[in-house]
């Protein structure tokens, strides 16, 4: 294994060790919901689910996710280390046992866990709303600036077209003047060339602005899917 692979492995181990190991005692529907949340959470690692009924909702989900399932809390506390034990058993006897044999783990009741997660969800929703509000303001600012620049570009295109027409007319008049109009014909040609360049540049800028507006819309749609 090369030096880079070694550093990568070391980083992965540190990341894994920083996760909070969570044990769940009780396999009902609420435990299942919490297991789904903890499984998706980057800072948590569910290590076991305990319930006498192997077909309980949380037990079934744990087996599908490859998480250890046990039928007795004694087996879990004795054989598996956890930083947090979520007591969803709704049994005073089980709660007493967990508190007496928890070791260094924190024992949290089901209601406390649900309240904690509800607070997190509420704050996350508020944060998401703020993100959309800020994004909407930025989008409006982009649209406003885009419209202003587009108006300016259309003005430039109009002037460029008028200059090109004037240059063509000037060239015609210069040709009629013969030898005396040669110098004027050169100037008219330069004006015509400059007008075309200005018009082409205005078109390029207009296309860039359209792409920026389209990109802003795609970013907004992508964030709506993520948040």
Q: Model confidence over 74-99: pLDDT tens digits?
A: 999 989 999 999 998 888 899 899 99
Q: What share of the chain is helix, strand, coil (3-state, %, to 5)?
A: 75, 10, 15
Beta-carbon contacts of 174 under 8 Å, excluding residues fewer than 6 positions away, are: 181, 182, 184, 185, 188
- Fold of the 3-104 domain: Rossmann fold (3.40.50)
Is CATH 1.10.287.950 what the domain over 124-226 is classified as, yes or no?
yes
Decide: 57 and 28 in contact? Cβ < 8 Å. Answer: yes
Q: Find the mean pLDDT for residues 29-45.
A: 87
Q: Find the mean pLDDT for residues 138-161.
A: 76
pLDDT of residue 42: 79
d(CA 225, CA 220): 9
Beta-carbon contacts of 77 under 8 Å, excluding residues fewer than 6 positions away, are: 85, 98, 101, 102, 103
C-alpha pair distances (Å), 87 with each of 101, 117, 185: 13, 15, 93
SS3 181: helix
When pLDDT is cut at 50, 70 and 90, the band that residue 66 belongs to is very high
Beta-carbon contacts of 60 under 8 Å, excluding residues fewer than 6 positions away, are: none
pLDDT of residue 194: 79
Pick the most confident of 60-74, 79-93, 174-188.
60-74
Q: Find the mean pLDDT for residues 93-109.
A: 90
User: pLDDT at residue 11 above 70?
Assistant: no
Task: Return the sign of the alpha-carbon dihedral for residues 166, 172, 178, 179.
Answer: positive
Q: Burial, 76: exposed, middle or buried (Cβ in 10 Å; 0-12, 13-18, 19+)?
A: buried
pLDDT of residue 227: 52
* Residue ranges of domains in the chain: 3-104, 124-226
pLDDT of residue 71: 94
Nearest to 77 by CA among 43, 55, 107, 38: 107
Fold match between domain 3-104 and domain 124-226: no
Q: Find the mean pLDDT for residues 126-144.
A: 69
Q: Render pLDDT for 189-201 as a digit per residue (tens, 0 to 9).
A: 777 777 777 777 7
Q: Burial, 150: exposed, middle or buried (Cβ in 10 Å; 0-12, 13-18, 19+)?
A: middle
Eight-class DSSP state of 108: E
């Amino acid at each position: 294994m090369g030096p880079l692979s070694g550093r990568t492995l070391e980083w992965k181990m540190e990341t894994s060790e920083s996760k909070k190991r969570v044990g769940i005692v009780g396999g009902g529907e609420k435990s299942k919901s919490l297991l789904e949340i903890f499984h998706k959470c980057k800072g948590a690692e569910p290590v076991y689910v305990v319930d006498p009924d192997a077909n309980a909702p949380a037990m079934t989900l744990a087996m599908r996710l490859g998480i250890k399932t046990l039928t007795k809390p004694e087996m879990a506390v004795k054989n598996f280390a956890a930083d947090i034990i979520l007591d969803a058993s709704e049994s005073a006897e089980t709660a007493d046992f967990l508190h007496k044999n928890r070791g260094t783990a924190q024992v949290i009741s089901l209601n406390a866990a649900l309240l904690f997660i509800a607070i997190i969800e509420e704050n996350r929703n508020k944060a998401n709303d703020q993100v959309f509000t800020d994004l909407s303001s930025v989008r409006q600012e982009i649209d406003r600036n885009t419209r202003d620049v587009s108006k300016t570009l259309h003005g430039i295109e109009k002037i460029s077209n008028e200059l090109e027409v004037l240059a063509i007319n000037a060239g015609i008049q210069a040709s009629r003047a013969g030898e005396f109009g040669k110098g004027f014909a050169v100037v008219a040609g330069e004006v015509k060339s400059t007008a075309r360049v200005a018009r082409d540049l205005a078109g390029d800028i207009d296309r860039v602005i359209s792409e920026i507006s389209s990109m802003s819309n795609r970013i907004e749609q992508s964030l709506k899917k993520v948040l």
